[in-house]
């Protein structure tokens, strides 16, 4: 009887350990995670768009973390060759309208995403809250998916960007800052992005913030140019676009951000 009990206990322990191993693997390597450090299909973004303006926020300290992000070794932007070709077409499009592309981020190494996850788990680190998430408690960042274990940026064909007005020589006023955590960053905030119609509906804003018709239209100029040349938008960030036909939909790259040796 005692031997039978020991076998039952052993079986239970094996099941428990198996569940724990599966759970741990799920958190550290999400489903579909396929890591590689092969950068052979990447280019420096400015090789595709030489006149793009770079403001690589994660190389500096003015970002929601307030520190340089792991994996950003140089203030440059990398992107897959295929996405770079599409972005070149976007650049030509907006240049004809009097604008230039300004890039905040493109390829993001997995260790950068991991840095975000560690930061979000530290609820005491709120030094950048007044600038990027004043209306949110940091504890909701995971639940509301502002921070996730995987990012499309790590697949290499996603870009965060805005427009620079060549006439005023200033960044175009989009009515909100890059990486603002809140509904004010949604493309449908105060308007319908499908029709380009400004509605003024700011009911989603927890504090009654709003944007003007001109600011909404500026967002639409960027959005429409990106969509015309093969990019798809994100429904929570007006600045975020991914190539529809991205070449590596299931691959998450690990090499750092720095100039590539061509």
Gap between the Cα atoms of 218 and 163, Å rounded: 8
Total residue count of the chain as it appears in this document: 262
Distance CA 134, CA 49 (A): 35
What one-character-per-residue DSSP string does 106-157 give? ----HHHHHHHHHHHH-TT--TTHHHH-TTS-GGGTTTTTSS-S--GGGGT-
User: What is the rounded distance in angstroms from the CA atom of residue 180 to the CA atom of residue 186?
Assistant: 10
145 is catalytic: no
Q: 3-state DSSP: the chain helix, strand, coil percent, rounded to 5?
A: 35, 20, 50
- Please compute Rg for the chain using Cα positions: 21
Residue 180, token pair as written in the block: 């603002």
Token duo for residue 255: 């090499």
In sequence order, which ranges of the chain are alpha helices (DSSP H)? 2-28, 45-48, 81-95, 110-121, 129-132, 213-228
Active-site residue identified among 55, 184, 237, 246? 237
Burial of 111 (0-12, 13-18, 19+ CB in 10 A): middle
Instruction: Tell me which residue has tokens 């709120």.
Output: 126
Give the residue numbers marked as catalytic: 237
């Amino acid at each position: 009887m005692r031997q039978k009990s020991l076998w039952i206990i052993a079986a239970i322990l094996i099941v428990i350990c198996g569940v724990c191993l599966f759970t741990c693997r799920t958190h550290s390597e999400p489903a579909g995670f396929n890591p590689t450090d092969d950068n052979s299909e990447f280019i420096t973004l400015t090789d595709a768009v030489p006149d793009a303006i770079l403001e690589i926020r994660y190389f500096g300290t003015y970002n929601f973390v307030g520190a340089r992000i792991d994996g950003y070794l140089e203030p440059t932007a990398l992107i897959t060759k295929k996405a770079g070709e599409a972005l070149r077409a976007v650049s030509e499009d907006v240049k004809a309208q009097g604008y230039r592309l300004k890039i905040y981020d493109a390829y993001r190494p997995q260790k950068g995403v991991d840095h975000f996850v560690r930061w979000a788990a530290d609820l005491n680190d709120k030094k950048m809250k007044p600038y990027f998430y004043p209306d949110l408690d940091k504890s909701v960042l995971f639940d509301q998916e502002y921070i996730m274990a995987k990012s499309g940026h790590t697949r290499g064909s996603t870009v965060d960007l805005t427009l620079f007005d060549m006439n005023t020589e200033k960044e175009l006023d989009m009515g909100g800052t890059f990486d603002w955590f809140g509904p004010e960053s949604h493309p449908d905030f105060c308007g319908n992005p499908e029709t380009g119609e400004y509605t003024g509906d700011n009911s989603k804003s927890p504090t009654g913030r709003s944007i003007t018709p001109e600011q909404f239209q500026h967002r639409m100029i960027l959005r429409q140019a990106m969509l015309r040349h093969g990019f798809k938008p994100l429904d929570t960030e007006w600045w975020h676009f991914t190539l529809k036909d991205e070449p590596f939909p299931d691959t998450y790259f690990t090499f750092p951000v720095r100039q590539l040796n061509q």
